[in-house]
Chain A
Amino acid sequence: MGTSFGRGGATTFQQDLQNSDCIVIMGSNMAENHPVGFQWVMEARERGAKFIHVDPRFTRTSAVADLHVPLRPGTDIAFLGGIINYILENDRAFKEYVVNYTNAPVILKDDFEDTEDLNGFFSGWHEDKNGYTFETWQYKGMDLHGAAGQREGESSLAKMEAFRQREDALKHGEPPNMDKTLQHPRCVYQVLKRHYARYTPETVARICGVKPEQLLEVAQAMCDNSGRDRTSAFAYSVAWTQHTFGVQMIRSAAIIQLLLGNIGRPGGGIMALRGHASIQGSTDIPTLFNILPGYIPMPHAKAHHSLKHFIESEGAKTGYWGNLDKYTVSLLKAWYGEHATDENDYCFDLLPRISGDHSTYRSMMGMIDGKVKGFFCCGENPAVGSANAGLQRRALASLEWLVVRDFCEIESAAFWYDSPEIESGALKTEEIPTEVFWMPAAAHTEKDGSFTNTQRLLQWHHKAMDPPGDARSELWFYYHLGKKIKALVDERGDEPHADAIKFLTWDYPEKGAIREPDAHMVLREINGWDENGDALPAYTKLKADGSTACGCWIYCGAYKGEENQTARRKSRMEQSWVAPEWGWSWPDNRRIIYNRASADPDGKPWSQRKAYVWFDEVKGQWTGYDTPDFEKTKKPSYTPETGAQREDAIAGWHPFIMQDDGLGWLFVPNGIVDGPLPTYYEPHESPVKNLLYEQQSNPARQKFPRPFNEYNPSPSSEHGGQFPFVLYTYRLTEHHTAGGMSRTVPHLSELQPEMFCEVSPELAKLRGLEHGKWATIYTVRAVIEARVMITNRVQPIRLNGKTVHSVGMPYHWGRRGIVTGDSANDLLHIALDPNVHIQETKGLTCDILPGRRPRGKAMLEFMEEVRAKAHLEKA
């Protein structure tokens, strides 16, 4: 999302789905996984909207849809490509929107070559480095930069890229070479048209295992319900992100929504449905390696030698990322207070540098390799919840020390005496060196704080009672740990790079007998203050001269007027449907972002039916139902001077203010490491060959062939037939991820007591599986067992005359809890999206047999046989 539009968050809010005329849910089972949010889809349907569900499995979401299209798992890019092709071939794009608000008219550099020309590769591929450089993907006469922290990927290749001298040359707010008739053969619109020409209904049908008519029905419905008077919305969740090409799936939806003019408008947009209470928040204020709060990139060893260097290579000159200096200096002031001065680069050199991928899967392998010795695990359960859980447990068993913070003793705390490896004898308790601290955590009812939900909305939860016993909040744990560490560092005086710890501001007021740090004051620091110490009202007030401090610029305004805005709870009955006084959403309490696009280039609503934000000529300002996502008094006709910088360079008719050209990017010239346009590749483990290109899978995907993470043989190889079925995992309404918060709950355990797998009657017959009895499922990584559920909800898919069966299973179970069972994640491998390093869980290969799995030593022998058949070395 970030690369297409400029910000990495849902473009709209759940309640706005009710205004949609057509909703396509894809890669998500919203009715079961986001049940209460789903009421807004039903609301739209009541109002006459068409509701389509595209998903391999028939679920409760499909049950209430007007149309359910079951497609082969992992083929969504082909399906979406088919929709794009339909729009372009039949001239169904919303032309006025596309010409003015997107980069469709922009003419590309002469040396750009497409996957059509290079058989599955774009220009700029470096075989030796296994990656792309972006110089050929640029606009003619202008180099694009992309929204700073929104650029995906932090490989050294990409970083060197940022280093290159750039030609920033907006002319009066517009890229220098454009063809607004969209006819020029090298303009983005025509490039797109050629790129997608292969995605005909027939080809897509063959890849996805759907009927051409089904694709056409979806494409037509979206086109018929888009335009001045109508809008269509997309909703997706992890079934789109968990692939070796996940970012490109979301990009495909972004292209459709831009072509149809559905971004920034009521009833339109892309609703990213996130799985955890604050998963959006933990990206905004990231517990992620590659970014600092507010999507500021983490400084990189090769590219960022000084603050100036960092700002120049990471910030754009134009658009709101042109203010990266203000955001960064204010963050450093929040962290290093009076120690951060102009003379010492505001302590920029106290920050550590990254030098590539340091994501969690790397860390776990680092543990096995002896490089990572200590590990904190807070409210997560990698021994069940992470892909290739067996490798995760081996990683834990290789540590020097481990801190696990949770409500109960989860599998990640018990791995040293209770795990499949201990059961089989592959690992022995007495031989595991890990020192384990299990620390009881406080529940949300026992602490103050804010969650950021799936629509960028911050909501405060108030403490109702003190945490019992030794249970403490993470806030308490990290604050007091920091205090102890600071004291030790002061006392000893010889720790490396000690100033980074000594200078850190670390003085939140403490409350009550347990001396809980005041969460309100932490939020106030996140919000930031001005030179007088007063809470800042908005990020537009930040300065680069060290006079403002702000812990996360996109959250600036959450403590506006010295009031915790996130705790606002004005009843929905007392305000408009947009409910701007319920909580606070970033940025600047905007509920639909890029909402300037809800008005036409002249600032008038596209239609009365879809009016949302518009320019009031009399008052000379933007107004409407939401906070305008635009400078309040910038006229629609505002034409920037050539050479203008920051937001001043954004024309009055360009709604995507975070991008350096203010445009929605159909084509992404900078920021995605595996291609400027989505291209269909087969999943890493796939039962069939890629029909579109010789290139089988995403060439830039991350592979980790190593002991305990071997891959099933590919379909074309000699032993390709060994794993004939597609495997995918999913969630149930009654359980939560790895089960730490649900398999420990009596009610929920009773509702979903046992691990199971879903298979079609045909597959059951083929393999002799019986309903309610046991099945054994295996890959080269692991073998597990599950109860069999035979159901028509999973359908075999016919591909090129071949029948492909699939096995679906929930991944919530583990060995601890009130209800226990084998973990589906044991079967999974680690192969990642090269941009965001998210693993592929939605389309692997496996085999299934009737009966229970072997136990103890027999399990090891079974696996040896499997591996021998696949011609892999002994484990």
Chain B
Amino acid sequence: MEHERPVWPVMRQLTDGDPLALGSAAQSETTRKWRGRIADAKVTKSVCPFCAVGCGQLLYVKDEQLIQIEGDPDSPISRGHLCPKGAATRTMVQSPMREYKVKYRRPYGTKWEELSLDQAMDMIAERVLKTRRETWESKDEEGIDINRCYGIASLGGATLDNEENYVMKKLYTALGIVQVENQARI
């Protein structure tokens, strides 16, 4: 209780066993009740999405909101550190430039249009099959079977998860798409 403690900070420093006033002597009843913003947030273990050092991250979520990302002190690689990029991960996820709706530009169009996610998926599936049919190569110039679709290419993967790369490669290969590439080449 506040009134039971000496009022003067300097007296508290002497009586609280906190001569440098770095702990309890510097606290008031109000500040003692303060909790860190992340104190009762849910913690999820994650990994920094930028470079390949692979620093451990702790994601703090409260009320369905990502409120903080910090370095994971348990990580044997990063020992709790994050560099400026890793430390800015929350602002990357919540970037003011991030968009959440599909955008569509029709051929020769001069502006973006709206499109529902489902409709976009249907249209893309149709485009894939159409181009596959049109550019299908079943044999090469010597008559050897090649069974591939030369008209579609893909670039991407180095920022994605292994599981994502796996389904990409699996689907593309089944479709006969061979021009599958990622940043490892760039």
A274 cross-chain contacts in B, Cβ below 8 A:
51-52
B92 cross-chain contacts in A, Cβ below 8 A:
407, 443, 741-742, 744-745, 748
**Chain A, 434-488, CB within 8 A of any chain B CB:** 434-440, 443-447, 449-455, 457-465, 468-475, 477-482, 484-485, 488
A35 within 8 A of B: yes
Q: A33 vs B156: C-alpha distance in the bound complex, in angstroms?
A: 21
* Min C-beta distance of A673 to chain B, whole Å: 16
Given contacts A277-B49, A354-B178, A471-B100, contact A451 B162 (CB under 8 A): yes
In the complex, the answer to whether B184 meets A453 with C-beta atoms within 8 Å is no
Q: A378 vs B177: C-alpha distance in the bound complex, in angstroms?
A: 16
In the complex, the answer to whether A457 meets B54 with C-beta atoms within 8 Å is yes
* Min C-beta distance of A273 to chain B, whole Å: 7
B46 within 8 A of A: yes
A-B contact count (CB 8 A): 494
A278 within 8 A of B: yes
Given contacts A372-B179, A484-B122, contact A470 B52 (CB under 8 A): no
In the complex, the answer to whether A474 meets B108 with C-beta atoms within 8 Å is no
A839 cross-chain contacts in B, Cβ below 8 A:
186
* Min C-beta distance of B51 to chain A, whole Å: 6
B129 cross-chain contacts in A, Cβ below 8 A:
485, 488-489, 495
Determine the main DSSP class of B at the interface with A.
Answer: mixed
Q: Which of B16-24, B29-37, B137-145 contacts A (4 or more CB under 8 A)?
A: B137-145
Q: A382 vs B181: C-alpha distance in the bound complex, in angstroms?
A: 12
Q: A449 vs B162: C-alpha distance in the bound complex, in angstroms?
A: 7
B65 cross-chain contacts in A, Cβ below 8 A:
465
A280 within 8 A of B: yes
A582 within 8 A of B: yes
B157 cross-chain contacts in A, Cβ below 8 A:
278, 282, 286-287, 378-379
B78 cross-chain contacts in A, Cβ below 8 A:
36
Taking a contact as CB atoms closer than 8 A, the residue among A281, A432, A485, A519 that contacts B108 in the complex is A432
Taking a contact as CB atoms closer than 8 A, the residue among B66, B83, B176, B179 that contacts A289 in the complex is B179
A526 within 8 A of B: yes
Q: A285 vs B102: C-alpha distance in the bound complex, in angstroms?
A: 28
Given contacts A287-B181, A522-B163, A523-B163, contact A443 B105 (CB under 8 A): no
B165 cross-chain contacts in A, Cβ below 8 A:
278, 281-282, 285-287
Q: A371 vs B153: C-alpha distance in the bound complex, in angstroms?
A: 10
A408 cross-chain contacts in B, Cβ below 8 A:
95, 97-99
In the complex, the answer to whether B124 meets A443 with C-beta atoms within 8 Å is no
**Chain B, 37-75, CB within 8 A of any chain A CB:** 42, 44-57, 59, 61, 64-66, 69, 72-75
B5 cross-chain contacts in A, Cβ below 8 A:
none
**Chain B, 127-153, CB within 8 A of any chain A CB:** 127-129, 131-136, 138, 140, 144-153
B3 cross-chain contacts in A, Cβ below 8 A:
none
In the complex, the answer to whether B178 meets A358 with C-beta atoms within 8 Å is yes
* Min C-beta distance of A523 to chain B, whole Å: 6
Taking a contact as CB atoms closer than 8 A, the residue among A352, A430, A575 that contacts B178 in the complex is A352
3 A-B pairs with the lowest CB-CB distances in the bound complex, closest first = A469-B100, A449-B161, A453-B54
Which residues of B are in contact with A by a Cβ distance under 8 Å?
42, 44-57, 59, 61, 64-66, 69, 72-79, 81-89, 91-93, 95-108, 110, 112, 115, 117, 120-129, 131-136, 138, 140, 144-171, 173-186
List 19 additional A-B contacts (Cβ < 8 Å) besides A285-B166, A437-B120.
A277-B54, A278-B158, A281-B165, A286-B165, A286-B169, A292-B169, A351-B147, A353-B147, A367-B153, A371-B135, A373-B134, A377-B156, A380-B182, A439-B117, A444-B49, A445-B44, A488-B129, A569-B56, A748-B84
